[in-house]
Amino acid sequence: MGMTIVEKIFARASGQKRVAPGDLAVVNVDVAVMLDSTFHPNSRRRILKLQDPEKIVVIYDHMVPAPDKLSAEGQAYGRAFVKKFGIKRFHDVGPDQGIGHAVIADRAYALPGGVLICADSHTCASGAFNCAARGVGSPDMLGAITTGKTWFKVAPTVRYDFHGKLKPGVSAKDVFLYLAGTYGHHTNQNVEFGGPALATLSINARRTLATMGAELSAEFATFEPDQILLDYVRERNSAPFEEQYPDADASYADRRRVDLDKLEVLVALPDSVIQNSVPVGQVGKVKIDQAFIGSCANGTLDDLAEAARVVNGKRVAPGVRFLVTPGTQATFIAALKAGYIQTLMEAGAVVTPATCGACFGGHMGVLGPNETCVTASTRNFKGRMGDPSARIFMASPATVAASAIAGHLIHADEIA
Amino acid sequence: MIRAKVWTFGDHINTDLMLPGDMLFASEEEQKRVVFRANRPGWVDEVRPGDIIVGGLNYGMGSSRPAARSLRNVGVGAVLADSINGLFFRNAVNFGLIALEVPGVRAAFEEGQTAEVSLEDMTVLNRASGVTLKALPIPKMLLDLMLSGGIYPHLEQQGYIEPNRDRPPPAP
């Protein structure tokens, strides 16, 4: 019996001929991404040795620019750490700033066939690059950067095959809402994406889907490689890699067909995305206080383009705060050059620097008591973006942008 | 053998409920005060050291944040759930919180009943009903880490990180 994509990556990275569900694979880590949270005074530990500084990337994203004194002290501590160990790939506040997983995408730090970890649950975002990328805890990170290794329990894999093509206005976020709404959680399972329609999904669309793998509670969310991906990576990173395709006789827990052309615009109701999606037209007239587009899931240039298309020439409804956070400063500049930022700001959006900020209720857009938000970001858990009494609906950038204009949840076609 | 009172929770109990985002960078002492603040206010004042959490499917879904550490600091003796989210499980292993996947456990217990957990046999007994359930096996390397206080003592002993004398004492 053959292996799935991640099984092949684990086999290579653990020096074995094959691995199978139920195994524990102790693997060499190719890239370990440390975030500003690692250096925060309330959580950091003093690291004495690193296995290989060349394998480490340091990216400040959660609390940037530093909104308080403790974060500022932690970030200064981290700069000294970077200097001491001679870490070359460092993304501080400035032109190279961005949300970790988005920076990884911009620079192609996640190589096909490789193993990447980061102490953030949305690390699976880099599964878009045919990489076995997994969010770990902060202690795992300390273990991996000092020993060079980590462990993965090998889980069974569910394979999704894409067919057809998304209708205009239906996005990768809607594909995710369909999968979460229809199939629910994938605890202790991997998901693998591919199929004949893979080429119809842009790299940014794949990133959205892979990122949201965390919200399916999948162990790994990994895309099959194709020419689009290989070209993308080679344009950005000259390091050698060996992409992994699943074996023809790979063993899957289930194999599911997704007809992209049949999918509709969906919204997840508050508190969970698990079997909680409904067509946006069926939600009723839900008045909103805040509309947010951003995060590692929806801060791509595609997302900003879609939001700008929807709000072009219109004005945000009175009483609505429309916040937009590009995934990286590089994406911000690209959106500026393309005119998207001007369109968004003229419509009344507040565009923030690249940060995890509002998505995790950290800063720059925290919700107050009893407020209602529609978000194109990663999570709608109770209390996620601020006060526990706030309601968070999750939707695509187009739906969020349209809702900001209407002042209530609405399908983008209805304000066109 | 762990023998303690059970607190029951539902499916998909997420990390943000155990450790809210606005407390992500607070001290461990402050974080410990807000466990289940949104879904079960006041619980931290009722739970006693050694008590057991029984959850449903996908316990601990969500973030990489150290929610398992907060449960350990509150004194939770074990988490038993129908299934446990992989990322939460990693943190449980690394922070030395006993966390077992026990299919059927949620339906087998009512809140306030007593659970008896044998780590040798990997079984859970509800003495009130007489029902015994089998926990899913945990690879030896991970079980050893979980039961020996997590990864930090090992990293300290090997000289990878500086010993932290201020670390709070391990759970009873």
For A304-315, the pLDDT digits (tens) are: 999 999 999 999
DSSP state of A339: T
B55 touching A (Cβ < 8 Å): no
Per-residue pLDDT band for A43 (boundaries 50, 70, 90) equals: confident
Question: Are the C-beta atoms of residues A326 and A359 closer than 8 Å to each other?
Answer: no
Residue A186: closest CA among chain B residues belongs to which residue? B58
CB-based contact A45 B61, cutoff 8 Å:
no
User: What's the whole-number mean pLDDT along residues A299-307?
Assistant: 98
Q: From CA A30, how far away is CA A45, in angstroms rounded?
A: 22
Q: Which residues of A touch B142 (CB under 8 A)?
A: 24, 151
CB-based contact A42 B26, cutoff 8 Å:
yes
Using a 10 angstrom Cβ sphere, with 0-12 exposed, 13-18 middle and 19 or more buried, the burial of residue A257 is exposed
**CATH code for residues A266-415:** 3.30.499.10
Residue B166, pLDDT > 60, answer: no
Share of chain A above pLDDT 90, in %: 99
User: What's the whole-number mean pLDDT along residues B41-62?
Assistant: 97
Q: How confident is the prediction for chain B on average, in pLDDT?
A: 94
Give the CATH number of domain B2-157; options: 3.20.19.10, 3.30.360.10, 3.40.228.10, 3.30.460.80: 3.20.19.10
DSSP state of B17: H
For A165-178, the pLDDT digits (tens) are: 999 999 999 999 99
- Give the end-to-end CA distance of chain A in Å, rounded to a whole number: 52
Question: Are the C-beta atoms of residues A78 and A96 closer than 8 Å to each other?
Answer: no
Å from B13 to nearest chain A CA?
10
Q: Which residues of A touch B85 (CB under 8 A)?
A: 187, 217
CB-based contact A120 B66, cutoff 8 Å:
no
For B101-150, the pLDDT digits (tens) are: 999 999 999 999 999 999 999 999 999 999 999 999 999 999 999 999 99
Residue A5, pLDDT > 90, answer: yes
CB-based contact A217 B85, cutoff 8 Å:
yes
How many CA atoms are closer than 13 Å to the CA of A144, on its beta-carbon side?
A: 28
What's the pLDDT score for residue B164?
75
CB-based contact B38 A382, cutoff 8 Å:
yes
CB-based contact B161 A121, cutoff 8 Å:
no
Residue A196, pLDDT > 60, answer: yes
B25 touching A (Cβ < 8 Å): yes
B141 touching A (Cβ < 8 Å): yes
User: What's the whole-number mean pLDDT along residues A41-60?
Assistant: 95
CB-based contact B16 A384, cutoff 8 Å:
yes
Beta strands A24-28 and A149-153: pairing type? antiparallel
Domains A5-260 and A266-415 share a fold: yes
What's the pLDDT score for residue A140?
97
**CATH code for residues A5-260:** 3.30.499.10
Those residues whose C-beta lies under 8 Å from the C-beta of residue A119, and which sit 6 or more positions away, are A34, A35, A37, A38, A135, A136, A137, A138, A140, A141, B64
Q: From CA A405, how far away is CA A175, in angstroms rounded?
A: 24
Share of chain A above pLDDT 70, in %: 100
Rounded (10°) angle between helices B86-95 and B140-147: 50
Residue A373, pLDDT > 60, answer: yes
Those residues whose C-beta lies under 8 Å from the C-beta of residue B131, and which sit 6 or more positions away, are B108, B125
Q: How confident is the prediction for chain A on average, in pLDDT?
A: 97
- The 3-state secondary structure of B44-105 reads HHHCCCCCEEEECCCECECCCCCHHHHHHHHCCCEEEECCECHHHHHHHHHHCCCEEECCCH
User: If you search the block for the tokens 């709070």, which residue do you land on?
Assistant: B168
Beta strands B52-55 and B2-8: pairing type? parallel
Residue B165, pLDDT > 70, answer: no
* Domains in chain A: boundaries: 5-260, 266-415
Cα dihedral A289→A291→A295→A301 (10° resolution)? -160
The tokens describing B85, both together, are: 């989210």
Confirm whether the ipTM is greater than 0.90: yes
Residue A143: closest CA among chain B residues belongs to which residue? B155
